Amino acid sequence: MNDILKVSGLARSFTQGGVTIDVLRGVDLSVGEGEIVALLGPSGSGKSTLLQAVGLLEGGFDGSIRIAGEEAAKLDNDGRTRLRRDALGFVYQFHHLLPDFNATENVILPQVIRDVDMAAARTRAELLLTSLGLGHRLDH
Structure confidence by residue, pLDDT tens digits, 19-33? 998 999 999 999 998
pLDDT in tens, 9-22: 999 998 989 999 89
Domain borders along the chain are 3-85, 103-137
- 129 near 104, Cβ under 8 Å? yes
Three-state DSSP class for residue 30: strand
Output the CA torsion sign for 11, 15, 20, 22: negative
Topology at the third CATH level for domain 3-85: Rossmann fold (3.40.50)
Give the helix/strand (H/E) hosting 31.
Answer: strand 19-32
- Is the pTM higher than 0.75? The answer reads no
